[in-house]
Structures are given as structure tokens and as C-alpha cells.
Amino acid sequence: MPKKKVAIIGSGNIGTDLMFKIIRLSDVLEMGVMVGIDPESDGLARAARLGYETTHEGVDGLIRSPQFDEIAIVFDATSAGAHRRNHDALIPLGKQLVDLTPAAIGPYVVPAVNLDAHLDAADINMVTCGGQATIPIVAAINDVTPVHYGEIVASIASKSAGPGTRANIDEFTETTSAAIEDVGGAARGKAIIILNPAEPPMVMRDTVQVLTSRLDDGARAAVTEAVATRVATVADYVPGYRLKQAVQFVDQDDEFDGLVPADRVQPGGYTQVSVFLEVEGAAMYLPSYAGNLDIMTSAALRAAERKVLAEQKEPIA
């Protein structure tokens, strides 16, 4: 099967890491054009050294590319504001977009939860790194018992957060919170991101805490099994994704009523389920502490490959 050409807009940390994944891992996609706005960026320099076309003239430079008509998918690894402009420029020209920013113009896609749900959408949104790491767990628990409230904390190494990530902190929390509800199934979601300045840099750590109705021993066992199964699903395309410790359960009373929607208040109390995760990066561009890059680019690659294979009616490996 011939590979489909792609372009990446954004020559920073995320876009460059994605480029290496496409080159080294994909049997479906091939690099076409690397797009940036800084002619001195490391991502553009690396792409050029590898023999790929580059432009520092943003989306306008991509549209002028001699390869533009051959580009099947455009990955956007810029910022929420830039993606809105790129969307407006490219959608009328018939391009398929995979959005790695928190712009959330298109539907949310978390491959371990809803990979096939939006194959026909022209612009799909990969939520955030924290969302990709935690929403599969919220969804797994919700498959067993309704999640009344879901809260996630994503802690990433400060060195792995480039200008785009830092400029989009508010969008990160808003988009992730919404996707915890829309994709994860929680009645109410909340997201927090921490840029950890520790030296040496720590790998990505994620905490998922949800409130369910009171769970008996059988339900707790089912939740534990569902979480383990979903972790394995994510690890299939993000090998550094793993549980840090056993799933924890603590019964809580009415002091948690204020966290859940009024129609989800449980007179019998709640069970607080806590899941602790770690994401180690594949070190294709930044060192292994940058698990936030790894899970985001791995998810985007899986989603884009699925879109191409679905069009060609091929099963995904």
C-alpha cells in the first residue's frame, strides 16, 4: 500500500517529535513538508538535513508548496490561536486536519476510547497530553460504574514545555476538562497542569481521581480490571505508559457533594477512585522525560493512520 504524504505545521518540540515518529514508525504515512515560522528553528533544520521540504512562511508557505496537492493530512502542532487561522485556510482547500493544539474546533479523539468515532471529520482534535494520558482511565471506570466527578492532574517536566504549551495553559485546562466529560463520560470534569521544574527533569506523572457511587468488593475488582485493560490498550501505541501503583479506593461521605452536579448527589456517599500513571517518552527528539510529547504525538499518529486506513478499507495493526 503506498504511503500518504503529510505536512506538519509547527517546527517546535511537538512537531519535530511527530516528524521522527512518522519517519521511523509509520507504514501508512510519509513526511512531505515541515512548516514553521522561525527560519532558525531546530525542527526546520533537522527536516532539511533529512531531505524534506521546509518552509518558514507558515500555512501560506505550505499552500504554495509544489507538494501541496499530494498532502493527504496536515498535522497542526502550533497553538490554539494559530490553529484557528490554519483551519480557516486549509479546510476550504479540502485538507484533513489533525489538531494537536487545545483549539478544539473539531471533535475530540482519544484513540484508546473513540478511535473510530470521527473518521469522517475534516478536523479532529487530540485534546491535550494530559487528556490523552487520563481520559482513557476515566472512560474505563465509567464503563463499569457512572463517574459523577473526574479530576486529573498532569505534571510534566518544565523543560519539555515549549512556547506553544506555555501560551495555552488556560486552553489546556478548559479543553481537557470538557473532554473528560465528552469522551471520558464524567458528569463533571476538572483538569490541572503542573510544569515541574525539578532537576534532573522528571517523567510525566498523571493522577486521575474520580467519584462514583459506593462500590462493593465486586465492583472494585471490576474497576481495577478495567483500568489495567485500558492501560494495556494505551501502551500498545505509547510503550512508556504505565500504572505507577495499584488502583486505590476510599469511601467518602457528603463533604464531596459540592463537586458533583446536583442531579448526581449520592445520599449513600461516594467511592473515590485514584489512579496514578507515569508516561516515559520514546526519546526520538527530546529525552525520555518528555512523555507529554510522546503520548500526544503517538495518539495523533494513531488517529491519522486510522483515518487513512479507513478510507482505504484496511484494518489497523
Average pLDDT estimate for 128-157: 98
**Confidence class of residue 111 from pLDDT cuts 50, 70 and 90?**
very high
pTM of the model: 0.96
Tell me what the pLDDT averaged over the chain comes to.
96
Is residue 216 classed as helix, strand or coil in its secondary structure? coil
pLDDT for residue 1 is more than 80:
no
pLDDT per residue over 44-55, tens digit each? 999 999 999 999
User: Does 98 qualify as catalytic in the annotation?
Assistant: no
Is residue 49 classed as helix, strand or coil in its secondary structure? helix
Question: Which of 129, 140, 277, 279 does the annotation list as catalytic?
Answer: 129
Cα–Cα distance measured from residue 153 to residue 65, given in angstroms and rounded to the nearest whole number: 41
Strand runs labelled E in 159-216: 189-196, 204-213
Is residue 6 classed as helix, strand or coil in its secondary structure? strand
DSSP classification of residue 202: P
- List, in order of start, the domains of the chain with CATH numbers: 4-126+295-311 (3.40.50.720), 129-288 (3.30.360.10)
Q: Do 169 and 175 meet the contact criterion of CB atoms below 8 Å apart?
A: no
pLDDT per residue over 296-311, tens digit each? 999 999 999 999 999 8
pLDDT per residue over 141-153, tens digit each? 999 999 999 999 9
Among 40, 49, 53, 66, residue whose Cα is nearest residue 8: 53
Cα–Cα distance measured from residue 111 to residue 293, given in angstroms and rounded to the nearest whole number: 16
pLDDT > 70: percent of the chain? 99
Predicted confidence at residue 317, as pLDDT, reads 58
54, three cell numbers: 521546509
Annotated binding site for NAD(+), which residues? Answer: 11-14, 160-168, 292
35, three cell numbers: 512548516
Annotated binding site, which residues? Answer: 11-14, 160-168, 292
